[in-house]
Amino acid sequence: MSPLKPIRDNPTSGNASLRGVLQRCAWRPVWPGVMAAALLGACAVGPDFSRPAAPAVQAYTHEPLVATTVTANRESQHFTPGTAVPFDWWRLFGSPQLDVSVEQALAHNPTLEAAEASLRESQDNLRAGYGVFYPQIGAQVQGGRERSAPLENGSAAPATIFNLVTASGTVSYALDVFGGKRRAVEGLQAQADYQRYLTKAAYVTLSANVVNTTIARAAYAAEIRATEQLIDLENQQLEITETQVRTGTAAYSSVLSVHSLIAANQASLAPLRQKISEADHLLATLQGVFPSEANLTEIDLSSLVLPKDLPVSLPSDLVRQRPDILSAEAQWHVASANIGVATAAMFPSISLSGTYGAGGTSFGNLSTDSFRFWSIGPSVTVPLFQGGSLWYGRKAAIDAYRQSAANYRQTVLAAFAQVADALKALEYDAQALDAQAQAQRDAAAALALLQANYRAGTIGYLDVLAGDVQLHQTTIAYLQAVAQRHQDTVALFVALGGGWWNRQDEASGAPQP
């Protein structure tokens, strides 16, 4: 991250602050020097932007990264440093239905379409900006009928009425002696780069949102099925309890307790079904269709494959992969170019223009040599006094440059933190899932023993109810841990940039003049 080269900002010594630029441009206050500089392309004032170097850090986390997570649910994940994220990373989850959902979103999402339109707009603005390097040519034909006023000339001659026809062509060319126009086009190029990376960020974010929403929906559906299975089990227990009440071996309060537990579990289904509806509506929106027109496919959580081999980009590569870092770099570049534009505005502007045409009282006169006219010559505009607007405009551009530099550094720091978070999350997700799976197995075994003891009459039904609650809680926690592990895998792919640069049809996106 290259710092801005020092530029004196004292408004009371403007000549001194510009001396370096004048020397750099080999300025001499004589016309031959100006014209020679103009013909040779002169120079471009302002700092020359260079891409910031990658951070020198060698790792994402303070502790060494584990090579493989612990085995949880008979699955472990292996980290492979230096490998690239595939652009279609969602296919690693092994779900054709998920693949179709992502592809539909990428094809029809309005937000992505808007981002692509903004990119095309910035590229067209760049192409338009290249026009400043070419002569501007125009033509004009004008005709009219006029009445002269002889008294205006002190003549006593009678007034005359006549036709006046003129046809002329003009050519003008603004010499970019101090590079202001080149800096402006440089800024347009950087702005196009910025829009390009925003489009890539929209692509990565959209695909991640579809995958995460699909995983969450599958988890909600699994929780509903687990709760419904528990309710079926509790209904069976209710029948046993009612039989025991009729035979006098159990109190009626046990029946009421079972009814209460069943009602509580049934009540928990409504919020889960609401979450599924919200997930369906979000998926429809992401795919660019109305919720009433969505044709979504049910995806089971157990059908999603957990990616085993996880790529981990080198820290030095991350700043060239993440769209948010690259867009922040492009904004920094825009700010750098704007310094050049603001600095060039403080210097004289030089242009050459020529006019050739003919005029007369009829179109026939236009072909006569005596009616032709022409002019050619340079024009120099010198900003002598602007009330400080040019000086402080340049100073504001420098401040914006420093702001962009700080924003870039913050973006890089946040990106590295996100990668570190995702890596540690996957490490701890495996540990949490392993513990939750064991807790679920233990709760199921404990409930089976409690039910057997209850049927044998050795324990009360409150013990069985406690076992039911424990099994339900551990099952829901297990399903949530499975979903969290999948979603944190998505977070790692996104934190590493989303693999957009590995797309086969990826182009530079930089239009040419």
Convert the pLDDT of each residue in 395-428 to its tens digit: 999 999 999 999 999 999 999 999 999 999 999 9
Categorize the per-residue pLDDT at 157 as very low, low, confident or very high, splitting at 50, 70 and 90. low
Crossing angle of the two packed helices 180-246 and 269-286, in degrees rounded to 10: 150
Going from the C-alpha of 35 to that of each of 27, 30, 176, 380, 459, the distances in angstroms are: 11, 9, 11, 11, 105
Mean pLDDT over each residue of the chain, to the nearest integer: 86
Is pLDDT of 389 > 60?
Answer: yes
Is pLDDT of 511 > 50?
Answer: no
Report the percent of the chain where pLDDT is more than 70.
Answer: 86
Categorize the per-residue pLDDT at 239 as very low, low, confident or very high, splitting at 50, 70 and 90. confident
Predicted local distance difference test score (pLDDT) of residue 383: 92
Categorize the per-residue pLDDT at 468 as very low, low, confident or very high, splitting at 50, 70 and 90. confident
pTM of the model: 0.83
**Could you tell me which of 127, 22, 69, 8 has the C-alpha nearest to residue 424?**
69
Q: Mean pLDDT across the stretch 273-298?
A: 93
Is pLDDT of 23 > 50?
Answer: no
Report the percent of the chain where pLDDT is more than 90.
Answer: 61
Is pLDDT of 119 > 70?
Answer: yes
Going from the C-alpha of 157 to that of each of 120, 147, 151, the distances in angstroms are: 64, 13, 8
d(CA 312, CA 427): 14
Predicted local distance difference test score (pLDDT) of residue 11: 37
**Could you tell me which of 269, 280, 235 has the C-alpha nearest to residue 255?**
235
In the DSSP assignment, the letter for residue 364 is G
Predicted local distance difference test score (pLDDT) of residue 230: 86
Q: Mean pLDDT across the stretch 48-72?
A: 92
For 422, phi then psi, to 5°, come to: -65, -40
Q: Mean pLDDT across the stretch 455-462?
A: 80
- Close Cβ partners of 240 (under 8 Å, ≥ 6 residues apart): 454, 455
Categorize the per-residue pLDDT at 455 as very low, low, confident or very high, splitting at 50, 70 and 90. confident
Say which residue the tokens 């026009």 belong to: 131
- Domains annotated for the chain, with CATH where assigned, are 55-502 (1.20.1600.10)
Predicted local distance difference test score (pLDDT) of residue 257: 83
Q: Mean pLDDT across the stretch 138-151?
A: 76
DSSP symbols for 115-165: HHHHHHHHHHHHHHHGGGGS-EEEEEEEEEEEE--GGGGT--SPP-EEEEE
474 neighbors 438 (Cβ within 8 angstroms): no
For 49, phi then psi, to 5°, come to: -75, 135
Predicted local distance difference test score (pLDDT) of residue 35: 45
